[in-house]
Structure 1
Amino acid sequence: MAEKLEDLNLPNSSVQKIIKEALPDSVNIGKDARSALSRAASVFVLYVTSQASNEAQKGNRKTLIAKDVMTALEELEFDNFIEPLEEALKEFKDSKVKRSRAKKPNGESVATEDVEDQHETADADLKDDD
């Protein structure tokens, strides 16, 4: 677990990048507002993670999976986040499949049936990354 409260915060550079992408180029944001957004994002992530952890425990699992996060968002009434998150997850899985294709020797292509297997592998890799 985190030793200091600050260890639970998201990296400022990541939050800054998200803020910059969300706002028009003509808009500037003050340091205090950036700090407040960073803290709010960190609290939100911890809140959803806590609920997702409860979902995993209900399933007698120690590893969080994407379904736990989706269920947590639904339980916490953040339904409008679910569809964009599912799309982002699918894009991530597809890019992971494409990268694994690029790593195959002799330029072999992957059969269509293998794509689902690779999505499952990508899910497992996501669990390992946590």
Structure 2
Amino acid sequence: MAEKLEDLNLPGATVARIIKESLPDNVIIGKDARAALSRAASVFVLFLTSQASQEAQREKRKTLLGQDVIKALEELEFEDFIDPLQRVLKDFKESKGKKQPKSKKPNENGHEEVEEEQEDDIVDEETGD
């Protein structure tokens, strides 16, 4: 768990990029508004995670699944978020089966070695995928 409240904040650069992409080009956002949006987003993620965790506990599971997040969104009356989230989850599951790109990393002699990217260890407990 986080030691300080600030540890729970989302990365400022990421929040700033999302805000910038969401607004028209001619709109400027103040530093205080950016901080408020960042904090609100962090609180929303914590709130949603807590609700999803309760759903997993009701199902006697320790692992949070995408379906727990969807159920939490329903319970919290954020139905407008469900369809986009389901599309993202579908795309994610489809991309898991594709081979990950290779990356080049220097070895101890300074020569580049090709390594396969590690896949996420996310497993759907229902399907085992």
Q: What TM-score do you get using the length of structure 1 for normalisation? A: 0.75
Give the number of aligned pairs.
Answer: 107
Report the equivalent of 1:124: 123
- Larger helix proportion of the pair: 1
Unaligned runs of 5+ in 1: 104-120, 126-130
What SS does structure 1 have at the residue aligned with 2:24? coil
Q: Check the 8 A contact 1:55/1:68 in 2, yes or no.
A: yes
Instruction: State how far apart, in whole Å, the 2-side matches of 1:2 and 1:41 are.
Output: 17
Q: Which residue matches 1:66? A: 66
Identity %: 66
| Rg (Cα) greater in structure | 2
Amino acid at match of 2:57: Q
Partners of 1:3 and 1:81 in 2: how far apart? 30
Matches within 5 A, 1:93-108: 93-100=93-100
For 1:79-118, what per-residue CA distance to the aligned partner results, in whole angstroms no more than 9, with x for missing partners?
1100011111222223333345x67xxxxxxxxxxxxxxx
Higher mean alpha-carbon deviation, 85-94 vs 28-37, is at: 85-94
- Higher RCO by CA contacts (8 Å cutoff, separation 6 or greater): 1
1:77 is the counterpart of 2:86 = no
> Over aligned residues, Cα RMSD in angstroms?
2.0
Give the distance between the partners of 2:22 and 2:61, measured in 1 at CA.
36
TM-score, normalised on structure 2? Answer: 0.75
Structure ranking higher in strand proportion:
2
> Gapped runs of 5+ residues in structure 2?
103-119, 125-129
- The residue aligned with 1:49 is 49
Flag as ranges the 4+ runs of structure 1 deviating above 3 A.
none
